[in-house]
Amino acid sequence: MVPHFAVCVFCASSEAATPEDRAVAAELGEAIAAEHWGLVYGGGGIGLMGEVARGALAAGGHVTGVIPHRLATREIALDGVTELIRTDTMRERKGIMDARSDGFIVLPGGIGTLEELLEIITLRQLGYHERPIVLLDPRGFWEPLVTQLDRIVAEGLAQPQLRELWAWVDTVPDAIETVRRELVLPHVAEGDLAAADGAPGQAREAAEGAPAEDLEVIEAPPQEASG
C-alpha cells in the first residue's frame, strides 16, 4: 500500500560512515516507517543508505530506492526494498527522487549528498517547491556548510531569507517533527497525516504524467515488521 506521502533521505553510501551516523540513519528509517510515511532514497545497500532503508523495512515501512544501472554494483543496490527503480543517468535518479518526495531529510554524506542538498535548497529559493528540508546533524557535520551559507548572505550574495529555507536539528524526533510541521499537503487533513490509503503525495501527484517507459522498476513482496 502506497503511503499518502514520502520523505526523501539524502545520505552517504560510503562504508566509511561512523557508527554514530549509522545508528542515527537506522533510527531515522524506523521513525519514518512509524509515521506511516514512505521512504525514498538512493537505492544503495551500504553506508548510511543501507542503514536508513533497512531501518524502515524492519519497521514495516514502504521503501523506494532509485539507483542508476552504473552504480547498482558500486553502491550494491538493496534488492529487498519495496520498489527498486533503476535509471540510466544520475539526472533521472534525482528527478524521480524529487518527484516522489514531499519532504527531504539530509544526513552526512559526500559530494553527491552535498550536491543534492544544495540543489533542493536552490529550487526552494527559486520558488519551485515549498517542501521541508531538514539537516539531521547530531555531531555538527554540516556546520562548515552552514557557516559558508551564512557568509554568502553576509556578503550580500543571497537574501537573508536563505537561512529560513531549511532546518538544522540534532535528533531524529526533531527531524520528524519539523517535517510534520512544515509539510505542505493541502489535500490531506491534519488528522490524516499518519494514514496510508494509497493516495499519492503532493509531489508525486504533480509528477504522475512523467514518462517511465525507459525505467526498470522492480517491486518486492511487502515487508513484514520485525518483532
SS3 at position 61? coil
Q: Check: CB of residue 38 under 8 Å from CB of residue 64.
A: yes
Q: Which of 24-38, 75-89, 99-113, 204-218 has the lowest mean pLDDT?
A: 204-218
Q: How confident is the model at residue 177 (pLDDT cuts 50, 70, 90)?
A: very high
Q: What is the pLDDT of residue 190?
A: 43
Residue 24 Cα distances to 61, 129, 137, 163, angstroms: 17, 27, 9, 24
Q: Where are the domains of the chain?
A: 6-188+197-203
Percent of the chain predicted with pLDDT > 90: 73
| Cβ atoms within 10 Å of 93's Cβ, excluding its own | 21
Task: In the chain, count H helices and then E strands.
Answer: 8, 8
SS3 at position 204? helix
CA distance 26 to 18: 12
pLDDT digits (tens, 9 = 90+) for 90-125: 999 999 999 999 999 999 999 999 999 999 999 999
Q: What is the pLDDT of residue 183?
A: 78
**Residue 201 pLDDT > 80:** no
pLDDT digits (tens, 9 = 90+) for 46-86: 999 999 999 999 999 999 999 999 888 776 888 899 999 99
Q: What is the pLDDT of residue 74?
A: 74
**Residue 169 pLDDT > 60:** yes
Q: Which of 165, 176, 161, 179 is nearest to 129 (CA)?
A: 165
Among 3.40.50.720, 1.10.287.130, 2.40.160.20, 3.40.50.450, what is the CATH number of 6-188+197-203?
3.40.50.450
Q: How confident is the model at residue 42 (pLDDT cuts 50, 70, 90)?
A: very high
Residue 4 Cα distances to 64, 105, 158, 159, angstroms: 14, 17, 35, 34
Global pTM reads 0.83
Cβ-in-10-Å burial (0-12, 13-18, 19+) of 40 comes to buried
